[in-house]
Chain A
Amino acid sequence: MRTKQEYLIRYKDGNLYCELADIWIDPSKPVKKALITHAHFDHFTFGCEEYISTKETAILLKERVGDNIKIKTFEYGEEFKINGINISFHPSGHILGSSQIRFIFAEEKWLISGDFKLQKDQTCKQYEIVKTDYLISECTFGLPIFKWDESNKIANDISKWIINSPEKTSLLFCYSLGKAQRLLNEISQTNFKGNIYSHGSIHKMNNSYRELGIDIKETIKIENKKKIDELKGSLILLPPSLSKGSYLKNFKNIQTAFASGWMSIRALRKRSGYDKGFAISDHADWDGILEVVKKSEAKNVFFHHGDSEALSKYLVEKESINVLLFGK
């Protein structure tokens, strides 16, 4: 077995790093060259000299942080070379533009899954199975209690939740990029035909999605001084950061909900402080992670993002897959 230093990709200062190409993946501090899997803020930091991503990720990033960054873009599947290493982006199904990144060097394949899901999502490209020798996978929901329902079922639950309280304004909290657009897309196909409002941060992302050719239902940008009557019976999408504090005082007679994979657990639902929880996630559930591990045909697997203890033990015991520890 090789030592940690001899792996093509390893952990350095808490980030994924490929020494041969001197390139970092989703680094949390400024570096020279950074590969970005997708445009969520926990995968991006300011101050890198150069960023490399898919075209969609680049556009979303610029929309969020301004044009002041230098980004080189590649299409899905398009190979590019750095220091003799072949690198390519592949759809990961997480949000628009999100990707897995494959490295090939001396006939050895490495795959970084990025954040991913296998479930259908009409707002982004479906996850692509990529074969690899080494797989570095996220495992945010790495326990078998996580098993997602079809997203149209959740959308129907949300629709029912709004329709059953016509006197109330329904506030649905969700991440502004990705989750909000997926929900809009799904909800527009349900029985709920009332007005949908969205917070500025979500509204902005909706527009970017449309510009990138994704069909997103038109929403009304929420103004602080909307008349209460107008909002009765309608749906408002808000980012989770606004769920605590004074923002909610702008509304009267509300019901609140949070859309997140964690909401499948009753204790977390209760603790979250929202009236209701809808278990919908842009990450893979347990079966999804297992499927990717199997279909990638990886002989060696690393996990990051999440508690991987149980998942690792299960793969070793049940599937005889070699699970390696990075050591952060």
Chain B
Amino acid sequence: MSLKKFSELFGDLDSINSTNNKIEVLKNYFLSNDPIDNSWAIYLLTGKSNKRFISGRYLKNLFSQIYEYPQWLIDTCYLKVGDSAEVITLLLKNKTNSRKKKLSNISLNELLSQTIPALSKLNEEEKNLEIKNLWETLPEENHLIFNKILTGTFRVGVSIGLITKSISKLINIDEEIISHRLMGDFKPSIDSYEFLINKNINLQELNSKPFPFLLANTIEDKIFKNSINDFQFEWKYDGIRMQLIKRSGNVSLWTRGQELVNESFPELVEKMSNIKDDFVLDGELLVWNFKEQIAFDFSLLQKRINRKSPTRSIQIKYPIIFIAYDLLEINGRDIREFKLENRRIELEKYFSKWQIKIENNVSDIFKICDLIFPKDWPDALTFKEKSRENNTEGLIIKKKTSIYSSGRKKGIWWKYKVDPMQLDAVLIYAKGGSGRRAGLYTDYSFALWKDKELIKFASAYSGLTNIEIKELDKWIRKNTIEKFGPVRSLKPEMVFEISFEKIQISKRHKSGIAVRFPRITKWRKDKKINDADSLENAYELMKKIS
């Protein structure tokens, strides 16, 4: 039951491409390890927590100190590797031939529940000594895992879905149930693992957990062959997707990221507690413009997300609303198996019941989403094009007969997003990537014209194919004007089409504008830099939208 086994699991998962093989490897791991180690493994693999005990920088400095390595040499290595934990692991190789007795039998549980938490109680000097000691006593094959956990960068190509599947196969219980058990808080313990693999499918403990979310897929052309009457149309809001749960009188707000956020939105919790019924609602939390009855920009919502116990004035300045899309459970009865159209009837029925009672006083913080009724598909397209006017991202299209299953199920729900805005911009800076893009220049900055000058307006790193990335990397190395650390300024020559979702005034940027989700959509080799757009074009675009 040693840490070594987990290191091997990590190595296997990291090098296997086939999903079935990954499931097989996970199953075998769970079968051959203690419940407690399994519980920790699930905790790490599902990314339930990635607490950072020390920073990557700290780790590098410490190594540099102990082994008298120049800092610049470690930094150069980092550019090639792209991950502090891995750089130090590679540099530690054959460095730790100390005579100390090896901790060859340490378990994952011991490391995570004792050894690493104990570090936080030490002062800096003791902590450094202890990390050095661990480097010398942990067998070499565990260094990568240890360094990654220390720096909170443990990640491997395994989705929650995959973990769900392997547990489901292990005990022969439906994935939906496992997925439900994995929702919400997960504290590693023997109990939490036993709960996961319990063969009894009606467990009380599930009451404290949100249901697995059902997600929409990107629209497919084949949908247009269906009758428009088969579908329910909603606006696609840009807020926080959430389940609002009231069970046995207690309200809890669970985000799609499975975080409990009651403390950030106390006014919602308070008001919803007034309702007599118990329920589970699926919906969206937004900062709401009550005068115009549309959502405020997502940036305002950001002012509330990370603020616990917001003051009264913050609550007034950024007023929130919960818009319910769906009713999943009512007074203890799970209705996810109902057809959507029937769930909608229930949702409307209960909503009007709750609203009528003045003492509930929920109408200023809770509503159900308005439906849209396009006559035909071209009409749906017209609605979609109008979605920017009311600050939504497009439409959500749901099959009226769909039951509420989990995950990104195909052929049930679709998102029909408004087309992005685009500008052609000139590449002016490049920076080395990290992770799997290490050693390549993959983070780019783009500029627009202002008179005769190129002004930076956006940074983007996604959208190019691997072949294009390699080609551009070569070009970047040949066309560097200056190097500033990891950043290179480049000869202005390459033009790219940049797409983004939103554009707004920003005082923080030299360009005076900020864009949301910028990404590269085309390498415009056909264009010269003089064909690129100007800041004026960007301002015009902004005017057109608002």
In the bound complex, residues from chain A placing their C-beta under 8 Å from that of B438 are 265, 267-268
Q: In this assembly, does B501 line the interface, its C-beta being within 8 Å of a C-beta of chain A?
A: no
Q: How far is the CB of B145 from chain A (nearest CB, A)?
A: 13
Interface string of B439-462 (1 = CB under 8 A from A): 100000000000000000000000
CB–CB B80/A265 < 8 A:
yes
Q: Which single member of B14, B16, B91, B435 contacts A145 (CB below 8 Å)? A: B91
Q: Interface-forming stretch among A58-66, A172-180, A204-212, A309-317?
A: A309-317
Q: In this assembly, does A4 line the interface, its C-beta being within 8 Å of a C-beta of chain B?
A: no
CB–CB B77/A267 < 8 A:
no
Cα–Cα distance between A69 and B513 once the two chains are bound (Å)? 66
Provided the pairs A145-B77, A147-B94 are in contact, do residues A276 and B15 lie with their beta carbons within 8 angstroms? yes
- Chain B interface residues toward A at CB < 8 A: 14-17, 69-70, 72-73, 76-77, 80-83, 86-87, 90-91, 93-94, 435-439, 466
CB–CB A267/B436 < 8 A:
yes
Q: Which single member of B14, B77, B86, B439 contacts A144 (CB below 8 Å)? A: B77
CB–CB B77/A143 < 8 A:
yes
Cα–Cα distance between A223 and B324 once the two chains are bound (Å)? 64
In the bound complex, residues from chain A placing their C-beta under 8 Å from that of B16 are 275
A and B contact pairs by CB, cutoff 8 A, 9 listed: A145-B80, A145-B90, A267-B83, A275-B15, A275-B16, A275-B17, A310-B77, A313-B72, A314-B70
Provided the pairs A275-B17, A310-B73 are in contact, do residues A267 and B91 lie with their beta carbons within 8 angstroms? no
Q: Name the CB-closest residue of B to A145.
A: B90
Cα–Cα distance between A111 and B445 once the two chains are bound (Å)? 45
Q: How far is the CB of B471 from chain A (nearest CB, A)?
A: 14
Q: How far is the CB of B18 from chain A (nearest CB, A)?
A: 9
In the bound complex, residues from chain B placing their C-beta under 8 Å from that of A310 are 72-73, 76-77
- Chain A interface residues toward B at CB < 8 A: 143-147, 264-271, 275-277, 309-310, 313-314, 317-318
Q: How far is the CB of A24 from chain B (nearest CB, A)?
A: 26
Provided the pairs A267-B82, A275-B17 are in contact, do residues A145 and B439 lie with their beta carbons within 8 angstroms? no
In the bound complex, residues from chain B placing their C-beta under 8 Å from that of A268 are 438-439
Q: How far is the CB of B91 from chain A (nearest CB, A)?
A: 6
Q: How far is the CB of A270 from chain B (nearest CB, A)?
A: 4
Which of A264, A267, A318 is most buried by chain B, counting CB atoms within 10 A of its CB? Answer: A267
In the bound complex, residues from chain B placing their C-beta under 8 Å from that of A277 are 15
Provided the pairs A264-B90, A265-B438, A267-B437 are in contact, do residues A144 and B17 lie with their beta carbons within 8 angstroms? no
Q: Name the CB-closest residue of B to A161.
A: B15
Q: Name the CB-closest residue of A to B74.
A: A144
Cα–Cα distance between A310 and B80 once the two chains are bound (Å)? 12
In the bound complex, residues from chain A placing their C-beta under 8 Å from that of B83 are 266-267
Q: How far is the CB of A266 from chain B (nearest CB, A)?
A: 6
Q: Name the CB-closest residue of B to A271.
A: B436
In the bound complex, residues from chain A placing their C-beta under 8 Å from that of B81 are 145, 265-267
Cα–Cα distance between A143 and B74 once the two chains are bound (Å)? 9
Cα–Cα distance between A105 and B90 once the two chains are bound (Å)? 42
CB–CB A143/B86 < 8 A:
no
Provided the pairs A264-B90, A265-B438, A271-B436 are in contact, do residues A143 and B80 lie with their beta carbons within 8 angstroms? yes
Cα–Cα distance between A269 and B90 once the two chains are bound (Å)? 14
CB–CB B17/A143 < 8 A:
no
Q: How far is the CB of A323 from chain B (nearest CB, A)?
A: 15
Q: Name the CB-closest residue of A to B75.
A: A310
Cα–Cα distance between A171 and B504 once the two chains are bound (Å)? 53
CB–CB A266/B91 < 8 A:
no
Cα–Cα distance between A309 and B79 once the two chains are bound (Å)? 13
List the 4 closest pairs (A to B, CB-CB), nearest first. Answer: A267-B438, A145-B90, A147-B93, A270-B436
Cα–Cα distance between A266 and B85 once the two chains are bound (Å)? 11
Cα–Cα distance between A143 and B78 once the two chains are bound (Å)? 10
Q: How far is the CB of B290 from chain A (nearest CB, A)?
A: 49
Q: How far is the CB of B442 from chain A (nearest CB, A)?
A: 11
In the bound complex, residues from chain A placing their C-beta under 8 Å from that of B70 are 314, 317-318
Q: Name the CB-closest residue of A to B470.
A: A271
Cα–Cα distance between A147 and B90 once the two chains are bound (Å)? 8
Q: How far is the CB of A75 from chain B (nearest CB, A)?
A: 36
Q: Name the CB-closest residue of A to B439.
A: A267
Q: Which single member of A144, A267, A275, A276 contacts B73 (CB below 8 Å)? A: A144
Q: Name the CB-closest residue of A to B86.
A: A266
Cα–Cα distance between A269 and B15 once the two chains are bound (Å)? 9
Q: How far is the CB of A235 from chain B (nearest CB, A)?
A: 17
Cα–Cα distance between A266 and B81 once the two chains are bound (Å)? 7
Q: How far is the CB of B87 from chain A (nearest CB, A)?
A: 6
Q: How far is the CB of B22 from chain A (nearest CB, A)?
A: 12
In the bound complex, residues from chain A placing their C-beta under 8 Å from that of B90 are 144-147, 264-265
Q: How far is the CB of B129 from chain A (nearest CB, A)?
A: 23
Cα–Cα distance between A144 and B72 once the two chains are bound (Å)? 12
Provided the pairs A145-B81, A145-B87, A145-B90 are in contact, do residues A314 and B73 lie with their beta carbons within 8 angstroms? yes
Given A266-B83, A267-B437, A310-B73, 10 further pairs, Cβ under 8 A: A144-B90, A144-B91, A145-B80, A145-B81, A145-B91, A146-B90, A267-B439, A275-B17, A277-B15, A310-B72
Cα–Cα distance between A138 and B14 once the two chains are bound (Å)? 32
In the bound complex, residues from chain A placing their C-beta under 8 Å from that of B86 are 265-266
Q: Name the CB-closest residue of A to B69.
A: A144
Cα–Cα distance between A318 and B91 once the two chains are bound (Å)? 17
Cα–Cα distance between A317 and B15 once the two chains are bound (Å)? 39
In the bound complex, residues from chain B placing their C-beta under 8 Å from that of A318 are 70
In the bound complex, residues from chain B placing their C-beta under 8 Å from that of A270 are 436
Q: Name the CB-closest residue of A to B87.
A: A145
CB–CB B72/A266 < 8 A:
no
